Structure 1
Amino acid sequence: MKLAGDDAIARQEDERTATYRVKLPRQVVERPLLQVARRVLIALTVLVVTALIVWIDRDGYNDNSDGHVDLLDSFYYATVTLSTTGYGDITPVSDAARLTNIFVITPLRVLFLIILVGTTLEVLTERTREEWRLKRWRSTLRDHTVVVGFGTKGRSAVETVCASGLKPEQVVVVDPSPKVVESANAHGYAGVTGDATRSSVLLQAEVQRARKIIIATQRDDTAVLVTLTARQLNRGAKIVAAVREEENAPLLRQSGADAVITSASAAGRLLGLSVLSPHAGMVMEDLIQKGSGLDLVERPVTKAEVGLQPKETEDLVVSVIRGHRVLGYDDSAVGSLKLTDRLITITRVTPMTQLAPDMKPTPRG
C-alpha cells in the first residue's frame, strides 16, 4: 500500500493553501465585505452632502486661484475639510458660510472621522477578541473528541456521539478543506484546516489532551499516517479509525487504533442482509442510526442487577463487558452479573435515554 505518493503532493498543495489555523464557530450577523461597503457608502454620502452644502452657499467662499467656487471646488473643499487636511486655498468669508462650517460641516467632519477610525478600531478589536477566544478555548479544552475528516463518515460519527450527550463545543474537526471546516463551524464545531498527518496540525486541535479520536479520512494510507501521528502525541486516547479495504485493518491496529471499522465490508454485509431479509436489514440500519427507533446502549450494571443472569434483567442484553473481554449474553463464562460489568443492551429511544445514556433505560414492556 502506498503511503507517500499522492499524499506528498496533497500535503504540498495543502501547505500552499491552508493556514493551519483554528477556526471557532460563531454567529455572523453581517458579512465583513457588506460592513465595509456600508461604511464606505456612508462616508461617500457625508462627502457629497458636505460638497452640496458648500456649493449652495458658494458665494460665501473664496477661492484664491480664481475668486469663485464651482461644483468641483466644492467637492475639493469637502474632501480636504473632512480629511482635516485644510490647505487654506478655499476659505469661508461670509458669516453664513462660517456658521455653516461651525454647526454643519464640523459635525459632518467628526462623523466622517468616526466612520474611518471606527472601522479600523473594530478590525483591531475583532482580532483581539478572536485571539482571546482562542486562548480561552485552548485553556478550557479537555477530554474532547477530535474528528479527522468531515465527510459523510466523519459527519455521521459526530452526529452519533453528539446524540449520546457530547456537546458540540467538545468536538474539534480537522480537515484539509477550508470549505469543509466552515461547514463544521456552521454545525457548532471548532475546526482546524490542515493535513492531519502532520503533528503541528493535530497539536492545533489539542489532540494531546483529547479523550477520543475519530479518523474518517478518504484514503486508507492517510488513515494509517494519521493514526501513527495521533498515537505518538496521545498514548491514552481511544482511537477509532475507518478504512475502505479490510486488508488494511490490521495495519491500522498495529499503528495504534483501538477499533477499526471497515466501511466497504460493513456496507456490503448490510446490502447482503437486506437482500436476504429486508426487514432484518431495516432493523440493523435502525440500530446503527443513533437517536431514533432502537439503539445499542452501553451502560453499567445497577446494584439491583448484581447476581442476576443477563436474561433475568429487564433489558434486552446483547453482550457483557467484563474487564477487556466482550462476552455474549449466553456465554457460560458470564455466570452472574457483577457490579464492575458493563452491559450492551438494545433499547428504544426515549427522552430519558437521550439525556442520560449511561442511566438505566426504560424497561421494555
Structure 2
Amino acid sequence: MIHLPLVRQGPLRALAVRVALAVTLVLVTVLIIYVDRDGYRDINEDGLTLLDCFYYAVVSLSTTGYGDITPFTPEARLVNILAITPARVLFLIILVGTTLEVLTDQYRNSLRVGRWRRKLKDHVIVCGYGTKGRAAVAALLENGWDKARIIVVESREEGVRQAASNGLVAVEGNATRSAVLNEADVKNCKAVIIATDSDEASVLISLTVRQLTAGQVRIIAAVREQENAALLKQSGAHHVIVSSATAGRLLGLTTTAPPLIDVVEDLLTPGQGMALAMRSAERNEVGRNPRELATLVVALIRRGKVLPLGGEQIVTIETGDMLVYIRADESTGVTV
C-alpha cells in the first residue's frame, strides 16, 4: 500500500465546513419558499410567515414532512420538484458526509498516486525508517535531494505514519518481497539504501533488488556485524557500512585523540560547521594539483575509484574526475 505525504485538515475545520454548507442550504431553501409563499397552504389557511418558511424548509430537507404545509399551485409544485427535492438530497449527502468523504479521499488518493507514478524517475528507495533510515533521508535532503524523489519502504505502521507526516512517500510492506519493491518502482530508481535493523533482512533485500534490476541499480547497505559485510557484497550491495565497527572505531578515536572526534562529528552533523561535498572537475582545473585549488580537496574519484591525496605522490586532475572537498555548511554549492 502506497502512502503519499499527508494533507492535513483539522477535524474542527472539517466540521465547520459541513455546518456552514448545511446552514447555507437551509437559508437558500427558505428564500425560495418565501418568494413563492403564496403557492403554499397550511392547515390554518392564513398564509405563510417567515417562520413558517423556516419550519417547512427544515422538515422538508430532513425528510420529516408532517404535511401541515403543502404546495398547491402548479408553480409551487414545480419549484419543489426542481429545487426543494435536489436540496433535500444534497442535505442528506452533507449529513452522511463522513462516508462520502472516505469514498472521495480514496478516489482523490488514486488520482494522486497516478500523477506521482507518471512523474517518478531516478528516485532513491530507503528500506527501513528507523534511526539509520531517518539519518539517511536527512543527509539526502541536506544535499538538495527533492522529497518527491525519496520513497520509504517500511513494514512498521508507526514508521509509515512518521514518513508520511514528514512529507515522504511511504510504501507499507516488507522490502524483502518483490511485489513491495515493484510498488516503489525499483527498476527505475537511482539507488536503494538498505537501513534495516537486521543483517539477515539486509541480505535478502539486496538479493531481491539485484534480481529485479539485473544489478543495474546501486545498492548501499548498513550491517551491524563486520562478518556479514562480505556476504552482503556478494548479495549485490555496492557499498556496505558496518555500523558496529564504525561506532567502535569512533569510540577508540575519542579515547586516543579526543579533538579528532569533534571534527568527525562536525562533518557528519547536518546543518552546522563543515560538510563533505563532491563536484565535477572544471575545465580550468584539469592538469592542476588538487592542493593548489581554493577549496580543500581531500580525494579524487576517477572512474569509480578513490584516489587519496596523501603521501609524496603527485596527483593531477583529469577530465571527468570528481572532487571530494570540505565546504562550510552554509555554502550554496551543490553537494552529492
Q: 1:133 aligns with which of 112, 135, 153?
A: 112
Residues 255-294 of structure 1: pairs in structure 2 closer than 5 A: 255-294=235-274
Query: Residue 196 of structure 2 aligns to which amino acid in structure 1?
Result: T
Q: Tell me if 1:213 matches 2:189.
A: no
Query: Residue 118 of structure 2 aligns to which amino acid in structure 1?
Result: S
Q: Is the 1:25–1:188 contact (alpha carbons within 8 Å) kept by the matching residues of 2?
A: yes
Name the structure 2 match of 1:228.
207
Residues 340 and 82 of structure 1: CA distance in aligned 2, closer, same or farther (over 3 Å): closer
- 1:125-159 deviations in Å (ceiling 9; x for gaps): 33222111101111110000100000110000011
TM-score by length of 2: 0.78
* Equivalent-residue separation in structure 2 for 1:310 and 1:93 (angstroms): 93
Name the structure 2 match of 1:324.
304
- 1:149-178 deviations in Å (ceiling 9; x for gaps): 001100000110111110111110010012
Alignment length (residue pairs): 305
Q: 2:227 aligns with which of 216, 237, 247?
A: 247
Q: Is the 2:300–2:307 contact (alpha carbons within 8 Å) kept by the matching residues of 1?
A: yes
CA root-mean-square deviation: 3.6
Alpha-carbon offset, residue 124 of structure 1: 3.5
Residues 1-365 of structure 1: pairs in structure 2 closer than 5 A: 21-31=1-11, 35=14, 81-82=60-61, 84=63, 91-92=68-69, 113-118=89-94, 119=97, 121-234=100-213, 235-330=215-310, 335-353=315-333, 356-357=334-335
Q: Is the 1:213–1:239 contact (alpha carbons within 8 Å) kept by the matching residues of 2?
A: yes
Q: Which runs of 5+ in 1 are unaligned?
A: 1-20, 48-59, 63-76, 96-100, 359-365
Query: Residue 156 of structure 2 aligns to which amino acid in structure 1?
Result: S
Partner SS for 2:332: helix
* Equivalent-residue separation in structure 2 for 1:43 and 1:222 (angstroms): 53
Q: Is the 2:302–2:322 contact (alpha carbons within 8 Å) kept by the matching residues of 1?
A: yes
* Equivalent-residue separation in structure 2 for 1:295 and 1:116 (angstroms): 59
Alpha-carbon offset, residue 304 of structure 1: 1.9
Query: Residue 137 of structure 1 aligns to which amino acid in structure 2?
Result: W
Residues 116 and 40 of structure 1: CA distance in aligned 2, closer, same or farther (over 3 Å): farther
Alpha-carbon offset, residue 336 of structure 1: 1.8
Alpha-carbon offset, residue 122 of structure 1: 4.3
Residues 115 and 23 of structure 1: CA distance in aligned 2, closer, same or farther (over 3 Å): farther
Partner SS for 2:152: strand
Alpha-carbon offset, residue 91 of structure 1: 4.2
TM-score by length of 1: 0.72
Alpha-carbon offset, residue 207 of structure 1: 1.2
- 1:309-343 deviations in Å (ceiling 9; x for gaps): 22222222221111132111036666321011112
Partner SS for 2:244: helix
Identical residues among aligned pairs (%): 39
